[in-house]
Structure 1
Amino acid sequence: MKSSLLFAASLAAATPAVPLATGAPPRPNFVILIADDLTYRDLGCYGGQAHTPAIDRLAAEGLRFERCFQAAPMCSPTRHCLYTGMYPVKTGAYPNHTFVSRPNTISIVQRLGAEGYRVALSGKRHINPKSVLPFEYLSDPIDFAEVQKFINSCQSEKKPFCLVVASHHPHAPWTEGDRTRYDPARLKLYPVWADTPATRDDYRNYLAEVTEFDREVGQCVALLDQAGLTPNTAVMMLSEQGTSQPRAKWNLYDLGIQSGCVVRWPGVVKPGTVTSAMIEYVDVVPTLLDAVGGKITPDFDGRSFLGVLRGTTSRHKDYVYSVYTNRGVNNGSDHYGIRAVRSEQYKYIWNFTPKDPYANASLRNATYRSWEQAAAQGHPGAKTAIDRYLNRTEIELYDIVTDPFELRNLTGDPRLAAVQADLRAHLDAWMKQQGDLGQETEMAALRHMVKYARGEGNNPGLNDSTGVDPRKAKKKGADTRKGAKKAP
């Protein structure tokens, strides 16, 4: 993944984007920089312990969102949401390693392409099919020489561009970056983690790779700055879902679904500002279209937050939604679907099958294994962390303002009965609108995973490796529970 700044100098003399027509104002370029499993709280500009000078610079020169969310705490559904402007179940891209199966779905590529843009993706993909997402695919991993060629080509053609630069950092196993910058003994751990040497070592290694992502951000921004593209380019940094350590990725707690979002856009965004407006990844494409006068069609789930960027409004959404599908996840509990709705103050989580212990790939990492060993030796914090992670009630309700790490479940508190009922009503309405049938949708998830599909969604129920069609799994003795009972 190592890349070089050797190509930056040649960009210094490049010509900024020019108008599409004589006398017309130049259309803005868009650059979206996205991390891979980065907990937003770890970024320097969010008060975190990672060394992130490039991202901090963007925040100082732009707008930082305190309440940005994505609808699924897994890489593939998150990216499909971002690029289509639609929620996961609606497009069919809701388990991990998924693909869009909804007919006639189009993405940021066709949307901005219709407005005269070239749209490219450099780095991590994890999206399908290409018929829905026909980016100009550059190298994976990121090669800034190719990024330079793409920018130069757009300038030669006098066309505006949208470029997604998708890092593989800081996705596990955290093998890159300067670990000597971080002393494990001095790191402050999240209160949902057990304090073990392995937890600290893994966190140190992860933070070092967060800094690697920041290096890539700095490298990309340097190309834009040195080319003179900054005045006419909106740069958005997104941290994606949280780290794969317990209670972040794979979960609907805020450490999993809340994202860092910073936007630098000279002349549009006031430098050094912060907003508490709630936005979602599904809002990004409608916002870009709105910025260039494009058509925002009814099939979008997202809404433009251009007014928030311009500073003409301080609010956007009252509720945000999320979905987690454990089916098909490595080492996962095959029937542990989760849905959630969040307001500015409260979070309501519905666990479909709480009688099952929760499990996923994070239970196999060094951190979690160290918790098990510590708990066996009588470490009280480890036992609490494990119990909190594995054993969940059907409904969880949290006051995010007073309990940001979601440690105190307030379900059943009579003082919050109206709050709980309101959140449940909004969640039910959202699921109905999305065609989400709860546990029935969970059990159908394998049909929406690439490894069970042939081609780009043809015969999506077939498992190529076994020849078993999950839609006929009942004959094989599989668990065919219809779903959890109606939750309070």
Structure 2
Amino acid sequence: MSAHRLIHLIAVGIAICVGRPCLSNERPNVVMLLADDLGYQDVGCYDGPVKTPNIDKLAATGVRFETFYSGCAVCSPSRATLLTGRHHIRAGVYSWIHDESQRSHLLLREQTLAEILHDAGYATAHIGKWHLGLPSERFDKPTPDKHGFDYWFATWNNASPSHRNPDNFIRNGTAVGKLEGYSCQLVVDEAINWLNSRSDSPATDSSADQPFFLNVWFHEPHAPIAAPDSITKQYGKERDKAAIYSATIDNTDHAIGRLVEHLDQMGASENTLIIYASDNGSYRDDRTGGLRGRKGVNWEGGIRVPGIFNWPAKLQSGVTSEVPAGLVDVLPTVCGLLGLERDASIHLDGIDLSSVLRGETDHLGRDQPLFWHLQRSRPIIAIRDGDYSLVAERDYEIPTDNMFQESWIPQIRQGGYKNFQLFDLKNDPKQTTNLAAKRPEIVSQLKTKMLEINRSIMADGTDWSAAQ
């Protein structure tokens, strides 16, 4: 047992004695729904073109964030940030992970949301895309069960060969083989089966009385894409990529609807916290809401995503929040809402959004700005502090390979920045006008904050190129 787990269990015992909110049958369930490459303006409640009545209902009966951000402009690092509440480089993940050629993975030293909930008595399951490192022929890496999940059904990266009839799922370490159907539906099938298997268990600590954390990470609409023709035809021709892209999102919405309906049938929906978001922006320029950039770059179009929190028993209903927030805030927010302890010695880069979600305030300060770093992006670095965004480019060269090379890490950790640009996101959300020359005092203030956060993060980062 890790030290932080032991500390937490002791804290839980103390909490019981003094009457603090903890282990009881009234504890809420937690469901995390994460799309893959879904743009800021894809789904209906964000004025997108796709019919998403089930996602829209979560927004209509919950809190929808107008300015919600991914943990990174690409996949693996964003997911590391979501699970830890920390910048992904602190957690060992610099870019998207290729297990066959890289040592990189989510570090075991990190305290994940799953570990916190597991230690508080929750049953935990990860179902869907993982992409935080799985064992390969060359490298032995920790599997999801080493990060706090009792049960897992996952793919290392994308559904292969596409969303249709994937053949690369692994269940608790054993390859499943080819499955028939579409990935989003298969993922929800597995989630429902897991919930049912718990309901059918004897009434013990691991049975239906136990609250659950269900981490559902869809593959859609990440390429290679596929969707039923009957849905695709609603958006265009059967072979039109834009139509298929939309259909994958529509199909995922149907799957989410089935999962929510099952929670209703279980009598669990009222006391279940559901969070919906995407890991990064869309790779399609027409799905970013006109924001600058797209997936893979640290402009708003690459990092702005949908963000919805729904918990009928406790949170506001039908509210749109203008407070800037993101995946980095999920872990501290869940801990805050549920009254859970975490290891306070671990620095978090996110904050607790509980007071916003409960309607107690419409303004929330941060100890540090939201921060993004991605070595292949121009700009490579970005922060958001209040209404302002500051971005910068790297002052060093790295190869143009799309695949991240761990040999770059020493240069990334030591590298500097140039061409700082300032944008007023309140009045210029599309980042069309660089204000750096007109507001040098703000640039100076934000540059100091940016470089301070960067130094802290790089000091925590693992040099995988030196790992043996």
- The residue aligned with 1:228 is 267
Higher alpha-carbon Rg: 1
Residue number among 248, 254, 258 corresponding to 1:209 in the alignment? 248
Is the alpha carbon distance of 1:145 and 1:103 closer, same or farther for their aligned partners in structure 2, counting shifts above 3 Å? closer
Counterparts of 2:379 and 2:386, CA distance in 1: 24
Q: How does 1:180-329 map to 2 (within 5 A)?
A: 180-183=233-236, 202-245=241-284, 247-296=293-342, 297-299=344-346, 300-318=348-366, 319-326=369-376
- Answer whether contact 1:120 1:162 (CA < 8 A) is retained: yes
Is the alpha carbon distance of 1:24 and 1:32 closer, same or farther for their aligned partners in structure 2, counting shifts above 3 Å? closer
User: Is 1:164 aligned to 2:208, yes or no?
Assistant: no
- Answer whether contact 2:329 2:350 (CA < 8 A) is retained: yes
User: Is 1:118 aligned to 2:118, yes or no?
Assistant: no
- Answer whether contact 1:52 1:211 (CA < 8 A) is retained: yes
- The residue aligned with 1:421 is 444
- Answer whether contact 1:170 1:212 (CA < 8 A) is retained: no
SS at match of 1:411: coil
- The residue aligned with 1:104 is 109
- Answer whether contact 2:72 2:279 (CA < 8 A) is retained: no
Is the alpha carbon distance of 1:148 and 1:203 closer, same or farther for their aligned partners in structure 2, counting shifts above 3 Å? closer
User: Is 1:127 aligned to 2:132, yes or no?
Assistant: yes
CA shift for structure 1 position 51: 1.6
SS at match of 1:249: coil
- Answer whether contact 1:279 1:317 (CA < 8 A) is retained: no
How many pairs were matched up? Answer: 370
SS at match of 2:31: strand
SS at match of 1:269: coil
* Structure 1 alignment gaps of length 5 or more: 1-20, 185-197, 327-332, 362-391, 449-458, 462-488
- Answer whether contact 1:65 1:276 (CA < 8 A) is retained: yes
CA shift for structure 1 position 205: 3.3
CA shift for structure 1 position 45: 0.6
User: Is 1:346 aligned to 2:388, yes or no?
Assistant: yes
CA-atom RMSD in angstroms:
3.1
- Answer whether contact 2:71 2:280 (CA < 8 A) is retained: no
- Residue by residue over 1:406-456, the C-alpha shift from the partner in whole angstroms, topping out at 9 and shown as x without a partner, is 2333332x2x1122112211111111222359xxx8xx87x37xxxxxxxx
- The residue aligned with 2:191 is 147
CA shift for structure 1 position 337: 7.3
What is the identity, as a one-letter code, of the residue corresponding to 1:225? D
Q: Percent identity?
A: 28
- Answer whether contact 1:106 1:132 (CA < 8 A) is retained: no
Is the alpha carbon distance of 1:24 and 1:273 closer, same or farther for their aligned partners in structure 2, counting shifts above 3 Å? same
- Answer whether contact 1:279 1:316 (CA < 8 A) is retained: no
* Structure 2 alignment gaps of length 5 or more: 1-20, 99-103, 134-141, 155-168, 170-182, 202-206, 286-292, 404-416
- Answer whether contact 1:105 1:132 (CA < 8 A) is retained: no
- Residue by residue over 1:358-391, the C-alpha shift from the partner in whole angstroms, topping out at 9 and shown as x without a partner, is 8859xxxxxxxxxxxxxxxxxxxxxxxxxxxxxx
- Residue by residue over 1:298-329, the C-alpha shift from the partner in whole angstroms, topping out at 9 and shown as x without a partner, is 31332221111111122234531111122xxx
- TM-score w.r.t. structure 1 length? 0.69
- The residue aligned with 2:412 is none
- Answer whether contact 2:68 2:304 (CA < 8 A) is retained: yes
Q: How does 1:320-399 map to 2 (within 5 A)?
A: 320-326=370-376, 338-353=380-395, 360=402, 394-399=419-424
CA shift for structure 1 position 159: 0.6
CA shift for structure 1 position 354: 8.0
- TM-score w.r.t. structure 2 length? 0.72
